[in-house]
């Protein structure tokens, strides 16, 4: 855990890190409570979009922790969120990114999913741009968010910012590939990727991604086709994966997500 010491007093740095996690655990939990409502526009066949919260509470702490680490090592770049739904994770990230001085870009069609795939239907997980802005304004820092509206295959073609962290929650295999094709090369040395859609006992083979479905299949295909070296692991919350491009950095300074989960339980 040398990264949290930053050449300063070890006790003070550990205290600052734990205080940061404790503070954001409460903040993210409050966001989840505030956005906790039934989604009247739910269309998903299995009801996965019936609850409007999406990602918040403890589930967002691994990303907050990674950003704290990236800041500690002075790794520069923006944060790009792909897949916004109702804006809960956007609200969480807006607060962390403002404090740590990372730009935050949030990309979504704001029309729901673009097509059918597996048990997903076209239009599932709809959150309009106005709805998302209202939620982020209420629970986060709207002025710190740049929204990118449209389909990833088009809107991200000219995305040129270096990225410190890429957060993908797009559900579909093809949408995952659209994101990676357009912005993977933007990842700064030391950057980290987080993705939803991963099951710990299904979508990992060692530190590699299995060819299953949805987002994992998208990563698998893109990495295989482009012969990219990487390391993947469960991200510290149900459904979350942390993916580290080995070609950028071995990122030994990022605390393992399972360790973070243990710390969270004791906060």
| Mean pLDDT, contiguous 10-residue spans, the chain (267 residues) | 53 86 95 96 94 94 93 93 98 98 98 95 97 98 98 97 98 98 96 95 94 96 96 90 75 54 61
pLDDT in tens, 86-130: 999 999 999 999 999 999 999 999 999 999 999 999 999 999 999
Contact 140, 90 (CB under 8 A): yes
Proportion of the chain above pLDDT 90, given as a percent: 81
Residues ≥6 apart with Cβ < 8 Å to 82: 107, 108, 152, 156, 166, 167, 168, 169, 170, 175, 179
Domains within the chain, CATH numbers bracketed: 2-266 (3.40.50.150)
If DSSP codes are grouped into helix, strand and coil, which group holds residue 262? helix
The model's pTM is: 0.92
Per-residue confidence (pLDDT) for residue 253, from 0 to 100: 47
**pLDDT score for 246:** 77
**Residue 21 tokens, joined:** 């996690």
34: tokens are 């505030």
Cβ neighbourhood burial of 5 (10 Å; 0-12, 13-18, 19+): middle
Which H or E run includes 166?
strand 163-168
- Cα–Cα distance measured from residue 107 to residue 233, given in angstroms and rounded to the nearest whole number: 24
Please spell the DSSP secondary structure of 218-261, one letter per residue.
Answer: HHHHHHHHTT--EEEEE-SSTT-EEEEETTT---TTSPPHHHHH
Q: Tally helices (H) and strands (E) across the chain.
A: 8, 9
The tens digit of pLDDT for each residue in 216-240 reads 999 999 999 999 999 999 988 889 9
């Amino acid at each position: 855990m040398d990264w949290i010491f930053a050449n300063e007093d070890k006790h003070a740095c550990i205290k600052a890190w734990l205080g940061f996690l404790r503070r954001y655990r409460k903040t993210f939990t409050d966001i989840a409570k505030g956005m906790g409502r039934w989604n009247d526009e739910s269309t998903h066949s299995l009801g996965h979009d019936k609850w409007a919260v999406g990602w918040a509470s403890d589930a967002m702490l691994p990303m907050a922790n990674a950003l704290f680490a990236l800041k500690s090592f002075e790794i520069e770049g923006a944060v790009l969120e792909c897949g916004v739904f109702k804006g809960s994770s956007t609200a969480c990230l807006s607060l962390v990114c403002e404090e740590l001085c990372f730009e935050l870009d949030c990309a979504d069609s704001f029309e729901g999913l673009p097509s059918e795939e597996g048990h997903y239907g076209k239009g599932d997980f709809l959150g309009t741009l106005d709805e998302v802005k209202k939620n982020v304004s209420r629970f986060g820092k709207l002025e710190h968010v740049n929204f990118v509206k449209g389909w990833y295959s088009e809107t991200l073609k000219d995305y040129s910012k270096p990225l410190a962290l890429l957060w993908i929650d797009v559900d579909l295999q093809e949408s995952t590939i659209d994101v990676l094709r357009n912005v993977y090369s933007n990842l700064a040395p030391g950057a980290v990727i987080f993705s939803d859609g991963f099951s710990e006992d299904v979508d990992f083979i060692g530190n590699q991604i299995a060819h299953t479905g949805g987002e994992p299949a998208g990563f698998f295909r893109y990495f295989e086709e482009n012969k990219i070296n990487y390391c993947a692991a469960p991200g510290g919350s149900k459904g979350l994966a942390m993916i580290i491009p080995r070609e950028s950095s071995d990122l030994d300074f990022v605390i393992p997500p399972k360790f973070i989960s243990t710390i969270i339980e004791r906060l």
